[in-house]
Amino acid sequence: MKLVYQPYQIEKGNNDYPKTKGNLILFLDETVCSVYFFVKAISGGWGRGSISHGIYTLSNPSRLVDTDQNKPYKSSVYPWWISLTPIIPLRGSITNAGLHGDGNVAGSEGCICPIEKDVDFFETVKPLIDSGQLKHLEVL
């Protein structure tokens, strides 16, 4: 399986940091011939800008406790988080980014947030990450 974030529009975000609108696409195989799940997403816009191009390791998919502290990670039903670690960190790249629900509290600060069907997305990819079938996210 392969997960890709494909930006399609760059905009000026909060505090003049760039943000990108894009699509998160989960493919059934590496040849990207068969789409399994598709969702619109956003990256950046507050404090650190959009996530850098590259390949990231996916780890620790977690459903979080629904508290004020976790409000930034809750878009709809419950807050959640998946850690993103760059395989080859580039100079100036964000090394503690995540994939999470968009709580729209202070923007996504370099993370990637599905802006629709976020819990469906999380519940689809969590077992794939836990089982080792899905290991990486590619940011185009």
Rounded to whole angstroms, the Cα distance separating 136 from 35 reads 16
pLDDT tens for the chain, 140 residues long, are: 889 888 887 776 555 566 778 889 898 887 767 888 889 888 875 556 677 788 889 999 999 999 888 887 888 889 999 998 888 766 656 667 889 888 765 555 678 888 888 999 999 999 999 999 999 999 88
Give the pairing type, strands 54-63 and 35-44: unpaired
Q: Tell me if residue 53 falls in helix, strand or coil.
A: coil
Q: Tell me if residue 109 falls in helix, strand or coil.
A: coil
Prediction pTM value: 0.84
**CATH number of the structural domain 2-139:** 2.40.440
Q: Tell me if residue 70 falls in helix, strand or coil.
A: helix
**Residue 90 tokens, joined:** 């580039």
